[in-house]
Amino acid sequence: MTSGFSANWRRSLAAFALFALLAPTQAPAQDQPDPPAVEQIPIPRFRAIDADAPHAERLPLPALKLLAEPDFAPWSFTLEDGTLAGISVDLARAACTEAALTCEIVPTPFTSLLPTLQQGNGDVIVSGLRLNNDLMTNTALTRPYFRSMGRFMIRRGTQIAAADPRALAGRRLGVVENTAHEAFLKTYFDKSQLVPQASEAAMYEALRTGALDVAFGDSLRMSFWMNSDGARKCCAALGGAVIDSDTFSRPLVFVVRQDKSAVRDRFDEALDTLEESGTTASIFARYLPAPVW
């Protein structure tokens, strides 16, 4: 794991790593590592909630300026009337209400997100950034509210029993070349016939036309494609989603200014409450064409 994680961050990721939503029905061959696997559930518990943790102090805080990428659907994007919407935006608004915080969400181009925060012209980045060592060292991060997942997809009517290494052995398994998803398959599905593709679009078309038996990629993007007109209702997910923190799974968090840890704590407590109450699940359902887990 990358150095620079705080103890709390390490515990959070360790707990979250348990949620792989692919449940193999048969054990893989002994010479292969075990793919991540746990129970399949309606929505992952993205946050490791400690019921015994002390409550964040409810001290008065000034109005907060939240920064969101305006072209990052479905997480944050601009509507025709100029307002911001999206999973991250709605979740941030709900967290502000839950934490009794006054918040303004400001559309901010991707390249300006971190500079604006560092210059003191914003307090929290709610969408757009991928975590790296610099962020983890120089900001205060909430625990994840989402983690990217992988998924297998097949043509409707294809007779494949499960999404496990034995069931997919010898099958033509498509994946976009030189990606973390390809690295995952090379580790856990080396008995399959891996067929690298130049792009997601090429992979989807190859699956739709029968040049592939199975495709593997990002669960969220696959969900949108499967439900698009271009897919022509050709394909369906095989099994549940897969989380592998060593390769393609990346956490989405709120990035808070380093000198505002009290704000981070208030958001973390609010996000816990929203997940427990089902509000988080409702927000995801508002923007996704189908479950992605």
Q: Residue 49's pLDDT band (boundaries 50, 70, 90)? A: low
Assess whether pLDDT exceeds 90 at residue 25. Answer: no
Q: Which two tokens stand for residue 67?
A: 């920064």
Q: Which residue has the higher pLDDT, 44 or 237?
A: 237
42-147+251-287 and 150-242 share one CATH topology?
yes
Exposure string over 67-83, b if 16+ CB within 10 A, otherwise e: bbbbebebbbbbeeeee
Q: Which residue in this structure is represented by tokens 């992605």?
A: 292
- End-to-end C-alpha distance for the chain, whole angstroms: 24
At 200, the amino acid letter reads: E
Strands (E), 231-270: 235-242, 251-252, 255-257
Distance CA 73, CA 127 (A): 10
Instruction: Give the pLDDT of residue 81.
Output: 94
User: Span 233-259, mean pLDDT?
Assistant: 94
Question: Can you tell me whether residue 78 is helix, strand or coil?
Answer: strand
Distance CA 114, CA 139 (A): 10
Q: Which residue in this structure is represented by tokens 């991540």?
A: 36
Candidate from 4-13, 67-76, 87-96, 189-198 with smallest mean pLDDT: 4-13
Question: Can you tell me whether residue 195 is helix, strand or coil?
Answer: strand
Long-range Cβ contacts of 128-131 (<8 Å, 24+ apart): 128/67, 128/68, 128/69, 128/72, 128/75, 128/76, 129/255, 130/250, 131/250, 131/251, 131/253
- List pLDDT tens digits, range 52-88: 667 766 667 789 999 999 999 999 999 999 999 999 9
Q: Architecture of 42-147+251-287 per CATH?
A: 3-Layer(aba) Sandwich (3.40)
Q: At the top level of CATH, which class does the domain 150-242 belong to? A: alpha beta
Q: Residue 129's pLDDT band (boundaries 50, 70, 90)? A: confident
Answer yes or no: are the C-beta atoms of 206 and 212 closer than 8 Å.
Answer: yes
Instruction: Give the pLDDT of residue 35.
Output: 60
User: Span 24-40, mean pLDDT?
Assistant: 46
**Among positive and negative, which fits the CA dihedral 35, 39, 42, 47?**
negative
Q: Sheet harboring 193-197: ordered strands across? A: 193-197, 172-176, 214-218, 150-155, 235-242
- Angle made by CA atoms 188, 194, 198, in degrees to the nearest 5: 120
Assess whether pLDDT exceeds 50 at residue 14. Answer: no
**Among positive and negative, which fits the CA dihedral 226, 230, 233, 234?**
negative
3-state DSSP helix/strand/coil percent for the chain, to nearest 5?
A: 30, 20, 50
Distance CA 273, CA 203 (A): 39
Q: Residue 244's pLDDT band (boundaries 50, 70, 90)? A: very high
At 135, the amino acid letter reads: L
Candidate from 25-29, 41-45, 65-69, 100-104 with smallest mean pLDDT: 25-29
Question: Can you tell me whether residue 64 is helix, strand or coil?
Answer: strand
Give the start-to-end residue ranges of the domains of the chain: 42-147+251-287, 150-242
Distance CA 131, CA 128 (A): 10
Distance CA 170, CA 233 (A): 26
